Structure 1
Amino acid sequence: MAIPPPPGPQQPDGPFPPPYPQGPHQGPYQGPYQAPYEASGPYQVWGQGYSPYNRPAPVNGLAIAALVLGVLCFLPAVGLVLGIVALAQIRKRGERGKGLAVGGMVMSSLGIALFALALATGGARDFWDGFKDGAGDSAGTAFTLKKGDCFDAPGGSLEGLAYDVDKVPCAGRHDAEVFADFKMSGGSYPGDSKVVDAADSKCYALQDAYAMDAWAVPDNVDVYYFTPTRDSWSGGDRSITCMFGNTDEKSGLKGSLRKDDFTLNAHQFAYLQAAVVLNEAMDSAPEKGYVEDDLPGHKEWATRVSVALDDQARLLRGHGWFPAAEKPIAVLVDDIEASRKEWTKAAAAEDADTFYAHYEKGLKLIDPRRTVTARKVLGLATTPPSSDGGGGNQGDGGDGTGAEV
């Protein structure tokens, strides 16, 4: 049956008019039209498009994203663009989130300004360098050493695995001094032996560029190096660090061994630079030590030494020495030129005996002890090393195969 609606402001209290007539024979119309209200209780009828629970409009997703990017300063330009798009969608769709979008735009604008300032002042580069250093640490590089650094190793040992070192001033007692570093290349780990071979070969070749005056290097000092492990290699570590250390771990080193253009004066550097020319040639001696076993190889070696002596004399003559050094250097140049003639004859020898005769005369003329006077005037070390190396090191005077001016 039809139930009349409850009284409302548009309808007076009291008896309700009868329902709308169902046909022409029901009698005359007695009141205003009231549509029958079919319901099970006194609930309001809602029109299409509305919810009886009054649900709020949804929040725009781009506005949320803009705020997040703005707060985190992550891709600030993207956060600014998302905020602008979000405002347009909010106006069009009637969504909420205008405050979020505006907040994201403001924060993103600040992020862009800070990024531009960092680029202008170099802050971005510093941040990236710091990030790379941190990445290197996480990849297994526990410390960073550069040329000229001195340090103490845990336990005083320069052998075995090293996880950390303590940098200390070179003037005091220390375990080691770094003289060079370089990086290996390659994808997969080449193996322990190849890494050690690369370190051994390169570090010994680089030592003379740092310690040009071999006479100033104590006899108990040798070359050591840090190399990557298999684990650190997989994390990107390719660095090899070359250093000087004492063969007696308890003694260590004191004072810097650095003697290069960074520490030497112009005259000292010119003298030692000329000495390097001869030492490199002397280093190229044949593997077979006896001339009888390889006369052609020794004759080629004598030719290289002759050329080096000529270059050495030219370098020494071409430098402008201070007055006290002019005479000692002139005496050395005369010895060098006389020695060059003997080495040239050795290079043309027809037999081993002839080679030996000229070789011995030439070698005596460039005996390291003949350079002490010039060294003293220049302020360089004056005590020849007592090592018995094979002639490659500057100033070696042990077995007659090493020489310098």
Structure 2
Amino acid sequence: MSEHSPLDLAEGDPFGPHNLPYGVFTTADEPARRRIGVRIGGHVLDAGAAAHALGSPHADLLGRPSLNPLLAAGRAVWQEVRRELTAWVTDPAHRAAVEPLLHPLGTVELHLPYEVADYVDFYASEHHATNVGRIFRPDGDALTPNWKHLPIGYHGRAGTIVVSGTDVVRPTGQRKAPADPAPVFGPSVKLDIEAEVGFLVGTPSELGRPVPLSSYRDHVFGLTLLNDWSARDVQAWEYVPLGPFLGKSFQTSVSAWVTPLEALDAARTAPPARDLPLLPYLDDAEEEPGGYDVRISVEINGEAVAEPPFSTMYWTAAQQLAHMTVNGASLRTGDLYGSGTVSGPETGQRGSLLELTWNGRDAIELADGKRTFLEDGDEVVLTAWAPGPDGTRVGLGEVRGRIAPAAG
């Protein structure tokens, strides 16, 4: 046993054995060989090599270059693998085998850890939806008549989901302000963020067979931070009558880490009280608490601008899963669905610049100048944590993206 082991973590480390999120990494000496890694403190454990060294029956699953085979293996296997990983990083008897397989986080390159099958994004924060309604329909109802009866969502573009750290090229498209006589074409001038939580599907479902609320844990492997970049000017011109399209599809950034649902049991919380009765397939009154107490922070160029609380979300991840399959749509391994922008009741809890600046009316002050929407060179970083067992914190990694000028 080494005298100063990387496994001897500081008290309160948010990436301790209670967390163990999954990612995929490469090393400088083998840049083409992607491997499944599990974060422990400031290191990444080569999970496949550890499984092989310790004789795990899951060595083949953990030795793949993507999480998808593990995702497809199902909940019983997820639980078994998690028990093994916990033992490997906590039992002193395993240290001699495990320590040589730990890589300092700063020495590896992290990749998108799963192949995305389909991508769906929701609109589940009452505070966000109310703010948007007040901005764009100041003389009408803030919420649309269907909002409290079903989780509103749209199908996004799986092929433009990227891992944290990937630059965001400013999108180009049509835009038309209300007073303009005709649309113009060019780079978006209202580039925005959406601070969200994403949920990753492991076990697929059969076409034509809805997934009930009670089966949420059987299908969803874990969660990840997500930033659904949005070109608000492109979106405003295109979205009537069919909804978001080019204003959203250019890029969505996700964390390099996926936190298993089991690591977040202590963060489960009841959603806000619903003031309208729900149809039976969405009624979660008899289910386990469907919300998560995730605390998100949003920084622009190193300055905190918002702290959106995920516990305020009106619609839960289980309800979203039930709704997007109630028509018989099937789940595929690697499906990803976003919560929608997370916003709380306070001004400093709004998860988009659209709300923080009230569509550009009220600029926010940064050390390098005022902002209404993102400028080229700006870097946005989302981080988050959730309560863990015995007073610990569960870290959810980060989503980082820097705005690059429009192509051409």
Report which structure shows greater RCO (CA 8 Å, sep ≥6). Answer: 2
Provide the TM-score with structure 1 as the length reference: 0.21
Provide the TM-score with structure 2 as the length reference: 0.21
Flag the structure with higher helix content.
1
Flag the structure with higher strand content.
2
